[in-house]
Structure 1
Amino acid sequence: MSRAIAKTNHHNFSEYGCKIVQLTVQEVAQSGFIDFPRHPDYLHASPVCANASLAHTAKAGIGIETADDLTAAISQ
């Protein structure tokens, strides 16, 4: 869903200079923050919450932490 939202936002607001960066926190950090806005108007950065969500029906509400979940939660 977020890809569709980002595409719609780009379609409607790119002419005003809006820029969407759709990368993981790890990808941004590995790039050394090259081309990352220094003063973003809005920043949403969070780990994938599907494993922790009680609405995650594939696991019947049981959150299981994966190695990726733990890596995303560790701040450096």
Structure 2
Amino acid sequence: MITKRIALFAAAAAMLMSADAAFAQRYGRGPVATVCAADINRHCNRLHHGRGEVRACLQSNWRRLSHDCRSVLRNPGGGQRWR
């Protein structure tokens, strides 16, 4: 009985975590938006999220970006890869 409850709880937690990650990606709080927040504010703050403008701006400012931001842009998980 307890094992069944633990399994159900684990399944529900996994579903919530994956839904939260999808929501974050869709609404600008994915890994790139989170890690690159300072770089976005510094170099791309007047651009709109969700249309590729911010990513293009970050790419055009590649050498000025922080090491962590460049790292997440190279390997953003399920997103697109650069360089």
**What TM-score, normalized by structure 2, do the two folds share?**
0.23
Give the TM-score normalised by the residue count of structure 1: 0.24
Asked which structure has the greater RCO (Cα within 8 Å, sep 6+), the reply is 2
Structure ID, larger Rg: 2
| Greater fraction of residues in helix | 2
